[in-house]
């Protein structure tokens, strides 16, 4: 028996809960205008930290966004994911009952898992001993709950997988979900990521010396000083092209392919050779060449090491002149496991609406990055985008790149 032809997969629904707004349209408007969501930290007592700015989601009210979950029983990362997924389904125009009755599930990426409940439990244990911990919080602390929350909110009975590949996790999730839909193992999949601002992640990046010292994230800028920790939930609804066309759905972009690999060399120092290889893997998977890429959504954390490594890797593939490349972390900070999910969302909208997302806060391009780089400073540039490339790199050298194209 011949193998069935793989299905083409498209993105028909988007959901975003971010520091610059809730809803994909509000999020995109903020990115296009170069706004940022940096504020003094409210999630935890930041006394003693030299860096006290983060990109938190202000006034996040899950009860206004979620229909089925008892919000008291879930952690913040789970609620961010479920809220974004509920938005994506509404945005897609799919009947929620049809979705729940289909072969459908969710793949959600994260870095810290349910870091807020874990922090609460650790605080109780340290203050008053193990017997003092609140048993009602314990079930919230499991990282697997993040995808479980999405499936429970939407009534999905397919895969519910939380991936912990840190800052590239959403791209891993999209690749996983894409394969399930492409091969016919699933009819629909929700893919994305979620993480919450928390003390342990903030402290970790502080100890690495990676936090911004002036409360601003400036990727590619000669005066950049580091990252801003952030949070959010993001979701993309993936379905087969034929099904989307048959129901007259709005199609944001086609998922053309992805590449994944691992540096296997250093915990936090990325390797340009392996990243370049990951780009090539993504191009091969998508059936495109470097000349086809109109825009790169960079990992772009706002550190000198990331910028020099990422630009060097891109030059190994694209040559001396790169496609326009920008970092939306300049607006929403580093949302950890959700970061490449937000990048994927903005790539879909860039393809659909025809604009190049900017690098906010960029004043002077670092001359050490060399010529032939266009990081799109300030605000969005109106320009057609046929194919967009979305970068995600993570601790341990986990690299994942997704490619999106216009139909």
Active site amino acids: 167, 299, 334
Q: Which residue has the tokens 């929700």?
A: 190
Ordered alpha helix ranges (H), 102-237: 115-128, 145-154, 169-182, 199-207
Q: From the CB of residue 46, how many other CB atoms can be counted at a distance below 10 Å?
A: 17
Does an H or E element contain 12, and which?
strand 9-18
Q: How many residues does the chain have?
A: 407
Q: Strands 39-40 and 53-54: what pairing?
A: antiparallel
Question: 10 φ, ψ to 5°?
Answer: -125, 160
Query: How many of the other CB atoms lie within 10 Å of CB of 72?
Result: 9
Give the phi and the psi of residue 195 in degrees, each rounded to 5.
-155, 155
Closest residue by Cα to residue 111 from 42, 206, 205, 225: 205
Torsion of CA 37, 71, 204, 258, to 10 degrees: -80
* CA 104 vs CA 107, 111, 120, 323: distances in Å: 10, 24, 33, 36
What is the distance between the alpha carbons of residues 169 and 393, in angstroms, rounded to a whole number?
9
Q: Comparing C-alpha atoms, which of 327, 309, 88, 270 is closest to residue 194? A: 88
C-alpha span between 296 and 293 (Å, rounded): 8
- Do 136 and 216 form a contact (C-beta atoms < 8 A)? no
């Amino acid at each position: 028996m011949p193998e069935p032809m793989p299905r083409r997969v498209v993105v028909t629904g988007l959901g975003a809960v971010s520091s610059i707004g809730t809803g994909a349209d509000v999020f995109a408007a903020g990115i296009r205008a170069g706004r940022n969501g940096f504020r003094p930290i409210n999630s935890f007592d930041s006394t003693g930290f030299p860096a006290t700015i983060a990109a938190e989601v202000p006034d996040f009210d899950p009860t206004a966004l979620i229909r089925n979950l008892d919000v008291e029983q879930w952690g913040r990362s789970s609620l961010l994911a479920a809220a974004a997924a509920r938005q994506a389904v509404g945005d897609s125009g799919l009947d929620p009952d049809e979705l729940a009755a289909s072969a459908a599930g969710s793949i959600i990426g994260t870095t810290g898992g349910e870091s807020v409940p874990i922090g609460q439990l650790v605080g109780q244990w340290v203050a008053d001993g193990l017997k003092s911990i609140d048993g009602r919080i314990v079930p919230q602390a499991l990282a697997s709950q993040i995808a479980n929350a999405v499936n429970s909110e939407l009534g999905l009975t397919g895969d519910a997988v939380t991936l912990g590949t840190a800052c590239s996790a959403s791209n891993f999730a999209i690749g996983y979900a894409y394969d399930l839909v492409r091969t016919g193992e699933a009819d629909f999949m929700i893919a994305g990521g979620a993480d919450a601002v928390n003390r342990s992640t903030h402290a970790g990046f502080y100890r690495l010396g990676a936090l911004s010292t002036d409360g601003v994230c400036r990727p590619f800028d000669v005066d950049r000083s580091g990252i801003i920790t952030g949070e959010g939930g993001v979701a993309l609804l993936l379905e087969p092209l034929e099904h989307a066309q048959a129901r007259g759905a709005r199609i944001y972009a086609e998922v053309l392919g992805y590449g994944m690999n691992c540096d296997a060399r250093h915990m936090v120092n990325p390797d340009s050779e392996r990243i370049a290889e990951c780009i090539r893997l993504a191009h091969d998977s998508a059936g495109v060449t470097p000349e086809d890429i109109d825009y790169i959504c960079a990992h772009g954390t706002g550190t000198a090491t990331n910028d020099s490594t990422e630009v060097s890797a891109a030059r190994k593939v694209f040559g001396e002149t790169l496609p326009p490349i920008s970092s939306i972390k300049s607006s929403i900070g580093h949302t950890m496991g959700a970061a490449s999910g937000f990048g994927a969302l903005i790539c879909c909208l860039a393809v659909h609406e025809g604009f190049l997302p900017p690098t906010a806060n960029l004043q002077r391009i670092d001359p050490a990055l060399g010529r032939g780089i266009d990081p799109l400073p300030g605000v969005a540039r109106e320009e057609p985008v046929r194919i967009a490339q979305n970068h995600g790199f993570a601790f341990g050298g986990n690299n994942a790149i997704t490619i999106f194209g216009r139909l």
